[in-house]
Structure 1
Amino acid sequence: MKKITRRSFITVCGAAAAAMALTACGGAASSTVASSAAESTSSSAAAETAAGTLSGNVATGGSTSMKNVIAALTEGFAEVEPGVTVSYDPTGSGAGITGATDKTLDIGLSSRALKDDEKNDVDGTTVALDGIAIVVNKDSKVADLTVDQLKQMFTGEITNWKDVGGDDGEIVLVGREAGSGTRDGFESIVDVKDSCKYAQELTATGAVISAVEANPLAVGYASLSAVGDTVAMVTVEGVECSEDTVKDGSYKIQRPFVFVTNKSVTLSEQAQAFVDFATSKDAADLIRTAGAVPVNE
């Protein structure tokens, strides 16, 4: 038998140790690569399920005034979750609250704040504010009106501009057609529901603005976002109509647009996703384009 010297033993052990080290390093490298690949696959899967994978229906209904806002939000949401269908039944705010209460709707729509007794069964989430500007001809001397003066003007109790600080001349009342959300909002807030003495009832906000622009004796109302520099906005009780005054509540001719949900029901995944989208900063421009004031941006 060949004798093993101390030097050769050390050499063999060193070689073995090196081989073991290389094997261990190779194993660690393989493990790291495998782990990274797994994490990458997991991240990709999470990204794929983050959006665009929901399906089913979301039943909404209620306020007719929220028609344009709901249409804009539904269109925007469809780009994020194309598999979800959002339905809208324009039955009025009261019916929307009732639908959420009796669970026939996923989301009720109300263009007024909830009453105290209604809050026992449902929650309200404000998604937008409706600011309605009062517009007059740019040649008008009237710069400010009170809510009471507006009420008297639109019901025919005040018929001459001189009675509210303007020149002598018969007031020409310009409004929207029956069924218009803007008309419903204005008449509800000023308390002139179904009692206005309109000279003209027009089918579009732009038509109202054009009519007021063309007639120095005209007065009308329009969503804040639609008013340009062709007409003048009067202040109401000293407060101008702006996004800031609508948001802080100092401008009186405004109201909330509210999503109403049942307290005892957990929303479906798709309904919750729609609520989250509607109350996100991403929805602000959609709400503004629809003629309302966003509350989250």
Structure 2
Amino acid sequence: MNKKYLLLLMAALFMVLLAACGGSDAEDEGTDNAETENTDSSSGDSAEGEGTSLEGTITMAGSTSVQPLSEELAAAFMDIHPDTRLEVSGGGSGAGVTAAQSNAADFGAVSREIKEEETGIEAVVIAIDGIAIIAHPDNPVADIALEDVSKIFSGEVTNWSEVGGDDQDIVVVSREEGSGTRGAFTDIVLDGEDTLVESALIHNSTGGVLEAVASDPNAIGYASTGSMSDSVKGLAVDGVEPTDENIKSGDYKVSRPFNYVTNEDEELSELAQAFLDFVLSEEGQSVVEDNGFISVN
């Protein structure tokens, strides 16, 4: 083999080797790029997970006086966290305590002070509510003494003429036993003794009481100030109107707390705690005020 031919052969082999090395480097570079992209993708998934909104279901049972407010708070919370669901039911304050004690619901709603014998629960006041003494709009009585309210509901006073009204028999309308509104009314007006007159008409909801009083010019009842409508009028008690300002100041004496109660032995879920935090926040308390109740902030 001559020298010229040998040089040509060596040059050809060098070009083949050079091409092979270049392809290997390109493949290695491509592999490095793919690994970086996978890492970035994983990082993106993690960031998305951290930003995911709350999801799940919260259950609540208890006071029918608190129920409409709870539904409004639930709607506002679900607007912020659309993957959540809040199921709100009534049953009365006693049922709310039982639901919390037995873990049958995340929250029990109680529209009165917690009784000493109601153990095993923790209570958080979410709003303050006044209890209006209500009469038909056509009733001439506009102001009544707290002592006279007590006498009417216990049956000692039976005619409107005895308290400055027309000569008409008084029709007493009340809530059922176990109602938080009735419990608070009993504590404040009847000195804790449930001496309700036997002839009283009993209704199982605030709406029922409002409707009964609105349909009878001689009726008297009581209802949450936050549930009041133009179909009835709230009487001044001892000269003090049942307004928010008078309830906040303490001048209007017939008022009560709205509580959410939970089982004291069970830690709230992340979702339930988030809802409670929302209720007590500035935004949640704005919902409280928008619905005619008094903020706790």
Report the TM-score when normalising by structure 2. 0.65
* 2:225 match: 224
Q: Following superposition of structure 1 onto structure 2, how do residues 165-244 of structure 1 map, counting pairs within 5 Å?
A: 165-173=164-172, 186=185, 189-191=188-190, 195=197, 197-198=199-200, 203-204=207-208, 207-208=211-212, 210-211=214-215, 215=217, 217-225=218-226, 227=228, 232-244=233-245
* 1:53 match: 53
Q: Is the 8 A contact 1:155 1:197 kept in 2?
A: no
Shift of 1:166: 3.1
Task: Find the residue that maps to 2:70 and give its secondary structure.
Answer: helix
Point out the structure with max Rg over C-alpha: 2
* 2:134 match: 135
Q: Is the 8 A contact 1:176 1:208 kept in 2?
A: no
The yes-or-no answer on 1:251 pairing with 2:252 is yes
Task: Find the residue that maps to 1:77 and give its secondary structure.
Answer: helix
Task: Find the residue that maps to 1:78 and give its secondary structure.
Answer: helix
- C-alpha offsets along residues 72-127 of structure 1, whole Å, 9 cap, x if unaligned? 222221111122222335343334334434444322222222234656x4321111
The yes-or-no answer on 1:262 pairing with 2:260 is no
The yes-or-no answer on 1:105 pairing with 2:105 is yes
Identity %: 36
Shift of 1:275: 0.4
Report the TM-score when normalising by structure 1. 0.65
Shift of 1:180: 7.9
How many residues are aligned here? 249
Question: Aligned partners of 1:220, 1:98: CA distance in 2, in Å?
Answer: 27
Question: For residue 215 of structure 2, what is the amino acid of its counterpart?
Answer: A
Shift of 1:193: 7.2
- C-alpha offsets along residues 185-206 of structure 1, whole Å, 9 cap, x if unaligned? 6467544576463479695576
Question: Aligned partners of 2:199, 2:121: CA distance in 1, in Å?
Answer: 37
Question: Aligned partners of 1:112, 1:168: CA distance in 2, in Å?
Answer: 35
* 2:39 match: none
Q: Following superposition of structure 1 onto structure 2, how do residues 3-82 of structure 1 map, counting pairs within 5 Å?
A: 49=51, 53-82=53-82
Shift of 1:143: 3.8
Shift of 1:230: 7.2
Q: Which segment drifts farther, 98-107 or 170-179?
A: 170-179
Question: Aligned partners of 1:118, 1:155: CA distance in 2, in Å?
Answer: 26
Q: Is the 8 A contact 2:112 2:180 kept in 1?
A: no
Question: Aligned partners of 1:245, 1:226: CA distance in 2, in Å?
Answer: 17
Q: Against the structure 1 CA distance between its residues 67 and 160, is the aligned structure 2 distance closer, same or farther, given a 3 Å change threshold?
A: same
Shift of 1:272: 0.6
Question: For residue 78 of structure 1, what is the amino acid of its counterpart?
Answer: M
Question: For residue 125 of structure 1, what is the amino acid of its counterpart?
Answer: V
Q: Which residues of structure 2 form unaligned runs of 5+?
A: 1-42
* 1:149 match: 148
Q: Which residues of structure 1 form unaligned runs of 5+?
A: 1-40
The yes-or-no answer on 1:287 pairing with 2:288 is yes
* 2:17 match: none
